[in-house]
Structure 1
Amino acid sequence: MLQPATLALGANVTVYLLLFMFCLLLLWAWTRHGESSRRESSRLPPGPAPLPLIGNLHQIRPSNFLKSLKTLSEKYGPVFTVHLGFRRAVVLWGYDAVKEALVDQGEAFSGRGTVATFGSVLKDHGVNFSEGTRWKELRRFSVLTMGNLGVGKRSIKEKIREEAQHLIDELKSTGELPFDPAFHISNAVANVTCSVLFGNRFDYQDKEFHDLLRMMNVLFVESSSSFAQLYTMFTNIMDHLPGPHQKACQALRNIQTFCKRRVEINQKTFDPSDPRDFIDHFLIKMEKEKDNPSTEYFMKNLVCTILGLFIGGSETVSITIRHALLFFLKYPEIEEKILAEIDCVIGRARIPAIEDKSNMPYTDAVIHEIQRFTDLVPLGVPHRVLEDTSFRGFLLPKGTEIYPILSSVHRDPTQFKDPETFDPGHFLDENGKFKKSNAFMPFSAGKRNCTGESMAKMELFIYITAILQSFKLVLHGDPKDIDVRPRMNGFLHIPVNYELKVIPR
């Protein structure tokens, strides 16, 4: 029988051998990566020299990714290269560089880069995280179908107004007691998206709906953590490690399961002569192209498309409204100016309509400034060049990942007179009229701008004005303690948790 010391020695040898093999594997991977990088480095924009295995991680803090990139831009200019672990990316900093890529050369830059949390589940399916022919076909179908279902027409406007009334009634039920508004707002915004995609809204007390919104909150909170940044840098390794990134992936899988169930419900009652929602329209297209071997209309693309549209059209708008209410609590004088405009244009007897916006330039400017200042998606969603691309004297090889930093656009001093200050005047001319800015890109820009942008703009205006029309907002706590800085600084800028009271006017 082997002695304990002998067994321990054997175990140690095994551990050392495994560590040795692991180091050899990393060295081999880095060598291959380095050879490829050296062949292409002379053609890429400048940037800091990477270290083996970690790239530029010693210069880029996942906990403050944006600030780290800003520091590098000050040294290397508006277009520079960074190595995120084994992943190499070209960063675009400032309005001119981002606009030149996404708008002027939009076709070449229309590929989709890697966001590990979403990519691990969607796997290049659906409209949001695919590229090339698949993305073009699904985007064209999505825009056309949402238009046919009323986005941009009277029907969707009325659905938003009806949901705004439900929201007002729900807020009244709080009885002037302090509460966290996040859940109520998420209900209202998600219900409009559900009406378009699934053909019905949910009662605010529906348990399945509650669970769905909770999963969406988990998804975005964990996707904005430092672990999620590391997950994108070291995907193959962190796929096998525990952490918050795994919670985000599981939440996304749960939402995907919900979407599958909704499709199955539609299939049981499907009538191609009377399509009720986005799912029905996709099922009709699937039937028409069932004999086409290269069709993009199949079940995986259907589920991933409605999943992406649901996520993109729900929680992002909800988070923006939560930011807005926090700004009104901090700056009550802005709230009062909006209310004066509401009283003049709308009055108190009816729910606001999107047609009112053209007569409310100050309100419109405030909403734009909230979106600019809060930088909901500060880093933008990564792009990828689809072909070898000449850009500002550099040659970006096909497949190069691109980080168009939207925060750098919204903070560009050449575009906004005082970008670090919250000032609705950024969107007003000398006569107090609303002033557009090409550097306003909360929905990104170019060919891959947000599919649901028009609906999101309607929701922001109607919900925000309806809330201020109906209630006086009162902070539960000391107003001087209000901190409008986000508590999460990753994929999304998520506001701090707060409680308020709403007093009927």
Structure 2
Amino acid sequence: MIRTILHSVDVFTILIFFITLLLAYIIWDNVVRVRTNIPGPTPWPVIGNLPSIIGTKNASETFLQMQKKYGDLVYLKFGKLPIVVVFGYKNVHQVLVDNGNKTKFRPRHLLHFLKTLFPKEAGVVFSNGQEWVDIRRFSMVALKDFGVGKQSIEEKIQDEVDFLMDLFSKQGKKPTDCSKMFPKATSNIISSIIFGSRFDFDNPDFNNLLGNIAIIFKYAAAFRLENCFPVLDKVNPFNKTKLVVEGRKKIQKYIASRIESARCSFDANNIRHFLDVYLEQEGKPDSKISDRTKSPYAESHRSLTRSYDNSSSCAKSHGSLTRSYHNSSLHVPNFTDLIPDRTIAQIFM
């Protein structure tokens, strides 16, 4: 019967049918499904506005041109995902701070990758929604107890400066590459808060840890075609997701060992570092952490990744609307990802 039908319908009719179906989908996808009056360039079918972004050498300049043409809110499509780029401090503050209860969730174009990287729990940088709010609150309170944001942290900074000065003096008049020294010094300040001690610059564990973190942030860019089209994760031979996952597992293994080491010498009356705070919290019967002892990395990694906040702003961006947002005469539909203008250069680097 099917063969009879196919023989009775010519190729031209089938072609017209599929073209009509495609046009109907485009109209539904761009007019009916997403109702918004925010201006922006016309998207292509299926791929959206990706060609106009990917095909430019300077994405920041492209977005600035869009701002001049369309205003401080620009509506785009990355594949099938609706995106609104927000320009200007006032608008960013209004959308992400004043309406923070609506925008505390991760952009949807990141969720596929984050689920691949962190199938269970994601820590303070990569977590989502209310979990992110709770973890961030706990981490910030604990870190402040160890001097973060206070004058007392200057002692740790000064100690690391002394180590740097000694290292420079040993170099004499030889040319010195500082590109790796300063990041290591900064990381040591963080390590002294989290682990209670610093690392020697040539410590293999330290270098492996920093190397794996660098891999994660190198290949975990906020903008990846795989985020818009998840199927590419399986078919793209140049996909770097496996490298990122392997790096995450190595960090997990190392920090889990440090937690177990801290557990052996833990004294609730002598809290020495951030891991002790975690162990103290873990021991409380009403603690949420006590239910997660099978995943020690998830909890400790929250503090570690939190410390690399400045280098991961693109990866940790929030701004997926759970409810629609109205700004004077403009309407941002729900489940739209928001991108502040200051993160554009990092997202498309």
Distance 1:153 1:60, change over 3 A: closer
Q: RMSD over aligned Cα, in angstroms?
A: 3.5
**What is the DSSP-based 3-state SS (H/G/I as helix, E as strand, rest coil) of the residue aligned with 2:40?**
coil
Corresponding pairs, count: 324
1:229 is aligned to 224
Shifted more, 168-177 versus 241-250: the winner is 241-250
| Residue 275 (structure 1) aligned with residue 271 (structure 2) | yes
Q: What's the offset of the Cα at 1:163?
A: 0.8
Of 163, 173, 183, the residue aligned with 1:166 is: 163
SS in 1 for 2:126: coil
Alpha-carbon separation, structure 1, partners of 2:42 and 2:258? 49
Structure 2 equivalent of residue 48 of structure 1: 41
Q: Which runs of at least 4 in structure 1 moved beyond 6 Å after TM superposition?
A: 28-34, 294-297
Contact 2:160 2:189 in 1 (8 A): yes
Aligned to 1:287: 283
Deviations 1:425-478 (Å, cap 9, x if unpaired)? xxxxxxxxxxxxxxxxxxxxxxxxxxxxxxxxxxxxxxxxxxxxxxxxxxxxxx
1:195-222 alpha-carbon deviations (Å, 9 max, x no partner):
1112221111211111122223333333
Residue 451 of structure 1 is matched in structure 2 by none
2:68 alignment partner AA: E
1:213-262: CA deviation from partner (whole Å, max 9, x where unpaired): 2223333333459xx53233323422553336333443334323322332
The answer for the alignment partner of 2:139 in structure 1 is 142
The CA distance in 2 between the partners of 1:397 and 1:241, in whole Å, is 32
| Aligned residue among 219, 237, 258 for 2:216 | 219
Gaps of 5+ in 2: 1-20
Three-state SS of the structure 2 residue aligned to 1:242 is coil
Q: 1:406 offset after TM fit, Å? A: 1.2
Structure 2 counterparts to residues 170-181 of structure 1, below 5 A: 170-181=167-178
1:203 equivalent in alignment to 2:195? no
Does 1:307 pair with 2:301? yes
Partners of 1:210 and 1:130 lie apart in 2 by 26
Residue 126 to residue 311, structure 1, CA distance change in 2 (3 Å) = closer
**Counterpart position of 1:74:** 68
Residue deviations 1:307-337, cap 9 Å, x none?
A: 35424524847xxxxxxxxxxxxxxxxxxxx
CA distance in 2, matches of 1:43, 1:315: 33
In structure 1, distance between residues paired with 2:79 and 2:149: 43
Superposition deviation, residue 144 in structure 1: 0.8
Q: Pick which of 100-109 and 80-89 moved more.
A: 100-109
Deviation at 1:111, TM superposition (A): 2.3
**Residue matched to 1:120:** 116
Q: Say which SS state the counterpart of residue 125 (structure 2) adopts.
A: coil
In 2, Cα distance between equivalents of 1:244 and 1:67: 27
Shift of 1:29: 12
1:405 to 316, 328, 341: 341
- Determine which of 86, 90, 95 is the counterpart of 2:84: 90
CA contact (8 A) 1:125 1:304 kept: yes
C-alpha deviation, 1:188, in angstroms: 0.6
Deviations 1:128-161 (A, max 9, x none): 2223321221111111111112223444221111
Q: 1:201 to 1:278 in 2, by over 3 A?
A: same
Tell me: CA distance 1:239–1:268, structure 2 relative to 1, closer, same or farther (3 Å): farther
1:14-55 alpha-carbon deviations (Å, 9 max, x no partner): xxxxxxxxxxxxxx9999898565444223522223222211
Q: Which runs of 5+ in 1 are unaligned?
A: 1-27, 318-375, 409-488, 494-505
- Secondary structure in structure 1 of the residue aligned to 2:76: strand
- Look up the SS of the partner of 1:235 in the other structure: coil
After TM superposition, the structure 1 stretch with the greater mean CA deviation from structure 2, 182-191 or 89-98, is: 89-98
Shift in CA distance, 380/284, structure 1 to aligned 2, threshold 3 Å: closer
Letter in 2 for 1:101: V
Q: After superposition, where does 1:379-398 map in structure 2 within 5 Å?
A: 381-398=317-334
Q: Distance in 2 between matches of 1:267 and 1:130?
A: 25
The answer to which of 276-285 and 254-263 deviates more is 254-263
CA distance in 1, matches of 2:278, 2:35: 46
Work out which of the residue numbers 52, 55, 62 in structure 2 matches 1:59.
52
1:307-346 pair list within 5 angstroms? 307-314=301-308, 316=310
**Percent identity for Structure 1 against Structure 2:** 25
Whole-angstrom distance in 2 between the partners of 1:252 and 1:381: 19
Q: 1:125 to 1:33 in 2, by over 3 A?
A: farther
SS, match of residue 182 in structure 1: coil
Shift of 1:194: 1.0
Contact 2:124–2:306 (8 Å) recurs in 1: no
| 1:182 corresponds to 2:161 | no
Counterpart AA for 1:313: S
Q: In structure 1, give the amino acid aligned to 2:51.
A: H
**Alpha carbons 1:385, 1:401 under 8 Å: kept:** yes
C-alpha separation in 2, matches of 1:104 and 1:57: 30
The Cα shift of 1:190 comes to 0.6
**Contact 2:73–2:86 (CA under 8 A) maintained in structure 1:** yes
Structure 2 matches for 1:98-109, cutoff 5 A?
Answer: 98-109=92-103
TM-score of the superposition, structure 2-length normalised?
Answer: 0.78
Partner of 1:260: 256
After TM superposition, give the deviation of residue 184 of structure 1 in Å.
1.0
The change in CA–CA distance for 1:159 and 1:244 in structure 2 (over 3 A counts) is farther
User: Would the aligned equivalents of 2:324 and 2:331 in 1 still touch at CA under 8 Å?
Assistant: yes
Amino acid at match of 1:221: K
